[in-house]
Amino acid sequence: MGPVIPIYEISQELNFLIAFIIGIGFGFALEQAGFSSSRKLAGMFYGYDTTVLKVFFTAALVAMIGILFLNYFEMLDTSIIYVNEYFINSAIIGGVIMGIGFIVGGFCPGTSVCAAAIGKLDALAYLGGSLLGIFIFGETYPFWIDIYMKNYLGGIKLSTTIGISDGLLVLLVIIAAVIMFWVGEWAEKKFKRPDITKEL
Amino acid sequence: MNPYLAGVILGLVLLLSFYLTGRGLGASGAMKSVVVTTVETVAHTKAEESGFYGKYIANGQNPMNSWLVFQVLGVVVGGFISGAVSGRLSLKTEHSPNITKKRRIVMAILGGALFGFGSQFGRGCTSGAALSGMATLSLAGFVTMVAIFGTAYVFAYFFRKNWI
């Protein structure tokens, strides 16, 4: 029965070793997907390369369906897995700022680590910038604390919010993803930039 | 690699993380540990009294002793192995021919700073909030995902010269 570590109280050393090994898999998958290239990542917003869309939604669906089935076969107790806590204002404001950061910088934190690992100097600069941004938030924290803590809804699920079962929500996400994949494949033909995609 | 296949591998890694630890993947959390450690080393008392840094160093705990720090160290190794296998290891600054190398570096620092700031405001980045959040069907995950990608689409037009 999972999750293994919280249930069986595994030692911290082994826990960190597992973190390191999972990280290797994470980094390998990101780099193989082509996420070590900022122009490839940014391609999603101009249509010439929609790899981000395909990888992101495929990964989310595999994990979503996996969690659903592991729970169904009683191999994973989903009542004790971490469901992100929802603070309405800060989730939206944070997401909007991150979105601007994405189109300006061309990476997100995870992909920048992966790109820096293969020698991309722009990724290293981005990483430095991220640390600076986190530091600025830390230093100005008292200014944001009210809005940061406002409208707390707890670890609530989308399925609960709209009043449908988890299974039906996953089915709807699968349908949405298939439509988006189809649009993505179409966009790559319509907005193709062989000059860019060839060098990536 | 075929993006759908890479997505399946990434999804299985994420699922394994949930099965073993009950939590998903992350990146910005490890960067926060680095910032907290730096501030604590330079100005210990200030860090202890801060509402933001204080909770990570209370009772003498070390912020670098965290699951996400070790996971991100793994990302460095995994990314390096993949780059070596596929022959992509090289020191370079990737940028559109329309902009200079210097401009690309400045934009990367600026974008990183915005993303870093936003990741603290939004309690996680694309990995921890959007991807892992969606995997557990959390409302926060879906909202953060739509906010990140939606905003990037809205602003894409103004920054097109940097990429195409």
Predicted local confidence at residue A200, as pLDDT: 66
Predicted local confidence at residue A62, as pLDDT: 98
Residue A1 near chain B (CB below 8 Å)? no
The Cα B100–Cα B104 span in angstroms is 6
Please state the domain extents for chain B. Answer: 25-91, 92-164
Residue A198 scores a pLDDT above 80: no
Residue A199 scores a pLDDT above 70: no
Average pLDDT over residues A95-114: 96
With contacts defined as CB-CB under 8 Å, which chain A residues touch B152? 45, 99-100, 102-103
Label residues B38-52 b or e (16+ Cβ within 10 Å = b).
Answer: ebbeeeeeebeebeb
Q: Tell me whether residues A32 and B82 touch, CB distance under 8 A.
A: yes
Predicted local confidence at residue A1, as pLDDT: 83
The Cα B125–Cα B139 span in angstroms is 15
Q: How far does CA A2 lie from the centroid of its chain?
A: 22
The Cα A64–Cα B11 span in angstroms is 9
Model confidence at A144, in pLDDT bands (50, 70, 90)? very high
DSSP output for chain B: --HHHHHHHHHHHHHHHHHHHSS---SHHHHHHHHHHHHHHH-HHHHHH-TTTHHHHGGG--TTSSHHHHHHHHHHHHHHHHHHHTT----B----TTS-HHHHHHHHHHHHHHHHHHHHHTTS-IIIIIIHHHHTTBHHHHHHHHHHHHHHHHHHGGGGGGT-
How far B58 CA lies from chain A's nearest CA (Å)?
16
Q: How far does CA A183 lie from the centroid of its chain?
A: 21
Q: Tell me whether residues A84 and B136 touch, CB distance under 8 A.
A: yes
ipTM above threshold 0.85: yes
How far A103 CA lies from chain B's nearest CA (Å)?
5
Predicted local confidence at residue B107, as pLDDT: 96
pLDDT, chain A, mean: 94
With contacts defined as CB-CB under 8 Å, which chain A residues touch B115? 97-98, 101-102, 105, 107-109, 126, 129-130, 133
With contacts defined as CB-CB under 8 Å, which chain B residues touch A116? 76, 79
Predicted local confidence at residue A40, as pLDDT: 93
Nearest CB among A91, A105, A128 relative to B143 is that of A91
Residue B61 near chain A (CB below 8 Å)? no
Tens of pLDDT along chain B (164 residues)?
899 999 999 999 999 999 999 999 999 999 999 999 999 999 989 898 898 999 898 888 899 999 999 999 999 999 999 999 999 999 999 998 889 999 999 999 999 999 999 999 999 999 999 999 999 999 999 999 999 999 999 999 999 999 98
Percent of chain A whose pLDDT exceeds 70: 98
With contacts defined as CB-CB under 8 Å, which chain A residues touch B127? 26, 108-110
With contacts defined as CB-CB under 8 Å, which chain A residues touch B86? 31-32
Q: Tell me whether residues A25 and B78 touch, CB distance under 8 A.
A: yes
Predicted local confidence at residue A5, as pLDDT: 87
Tens of pLDDT, residues A1-57: 889 988 888 888 999 999 999 999 999 999 999 999 999 999 999 999 999 999 999
